Amino acid sequence: MTIQQAATAAEPTIETKARHRVNRTDRQEARSGALMVAPAIVLLLLFFFIPVLLCFILAFTNARLISPEPAHFTGVDNFTRLFSDPVFWASLRNTFYFAVIVVPLQSGFALLLALLINVKMRGTNFFRTMYFIPVVTSIVVVSILWRFMNQPEGLVNSLLQAVSFNVIQGTDWLNNTTSAMPAIMFMSIWQAVGFHMVIWLSGLQTIPEERYEAAEIDGAGTWQKFRYVTWPGLRATRTFILVTITISALSLFAQINVMTAGGPLNATTTMVFQAVRTGYQQQQTAYASAISLVFFLLVLAVSLVQRYLTRDKD
């Protein structure tokens, strides 16, 4: 066999080894990727998919948290009871009332703060920190503080009396069916506005400075630059903020649990609070699962509608 024939005979072997080496590298990369993704998949299974599946199953049973009798299938009895429950309709109304007011006010105020501190001047870092401090404070601690502040002899009424020269005496904000929810709204907006301010600020800083320079050359004023440069450049940011604020508003629980416990007369009861109270305090696990399932479908529908309305139409 000549040298050329030997080289020709060895070529398939070299190609085969190279192919095997590439396949081995691909398998190692796939294995490494699977190991990296595995913790997230396990957490999603344990804390999302399995609870949702159990919630769906329990909603059609008569299960209780602590009961000597085994649960059995009851069909749609829980949903029939739910849709005839006046407390459920009150919680649904309060949930939407909170979301409709808080979502536009909180997002708009956060955008205003972001525009104010998105300048290159001394002191902006101080104001960014001050606006963000309530976000890193526990919502339970903040709720306790505001519960004391809203008492008849609390700081809120004292400030109103001082500003109005005792013309306005104030009220027992959290024990009044008219003022309880607005008081919680005000506190919620104040506590979370800094977080969305930071998101708006990150979106503002992604807009190229050349666009503002071009707008100034064309003679655009402050409002024109905001309308034709800033607002279009925040399309992705405002979609994210709208969805996150809405989901957070619909999931209102901690403030209600600490400040009013759903009162007075269910004026501040929300769907999440009703589900937790029914499932743990009243130990009606199946009925609470039905409430949670309806809430899940509600949030999913609202998020899909928002995503559709704010989609990129280009």
Tell me, what amino acid is at 297? L
Residues 6+ apart with CB under 8 A from 47: none
Tell me, what amino acid is at 109? F
Secondary structure (3-state) at 126: helix
* pTM score of the predicted model: 0.83
Q: Could you tell me the two tokens for 250?
A: 């619909």
Predicted pLDDT of residue 189: 93
Predicted pLDDT of residue 313: 60
Instruction: Report how far residue 201's alpha carbon sits from residue 116's, in angstroms, rounded to the nearest whole number.
Output: 10
Helix or strand holding residue 134 (H, E): helix 124-136
Instruction: Report how far residue 156's alpha carbon sits from residue 117's, in angstroms, rounded to the nearest whole number.
Output: 28
Instruction: Report how far residue 160's alpha carbon sits from residue 170's, in angstroms, rounded to the nearest whole number.
Output: 7
DSSP letter for each residue of 43-106: HHIIIIIHHHHHHHHHTTB---SS-SSPP-B-TTHHHHHHHT-HHHHHHHHHHHHHHHHHHHHH
Predicted pLDDT of residue 126: 82
Instruction: Report how far residue 92's alpha carbon sits from residue 90's, in angstroms, rounded to the nearest whole number.
Output: 5
Predicted pLDDT of residue 18: 60
Question: HSE of 6 in the Cβ direction (CA atoms, 13 Å)?
Answer: 3
DSSP letter for each residue of 213-274: HHHHHTT--HHHHIIIIIHHHTHHHHHHHHHHHHHHHHT--HHHHHHTTT-STTSS--HHHH
Predicted pLDDT of residue 219: 84
54 closest CA partner among 261, 289, 302: 289
189 closest CA partner among 122, 271, 114, 109: 109
18 secondary structure, DSSP code: H
Predicted pLDDT of residue 79: 93
Domain spanning 86-309: which superfamily? MetI-like (1.10.3720.10)
Q: Which residue has the tokens 């708009």?
A: 108
Contact 245, 196 (CB under 8 A): yes
Predicted pLDDT of residue 302: 86
> If the chain, 314 residues long, is cut into consecutive pieces of 10 residues, what is the mean pLDDT of each piece?
49 61 74 86 90 90 83 89 93 94 93 87 80 88 92 88 83 90 94 92 89 86 88 88 89 92 91 92 91 90 81 62
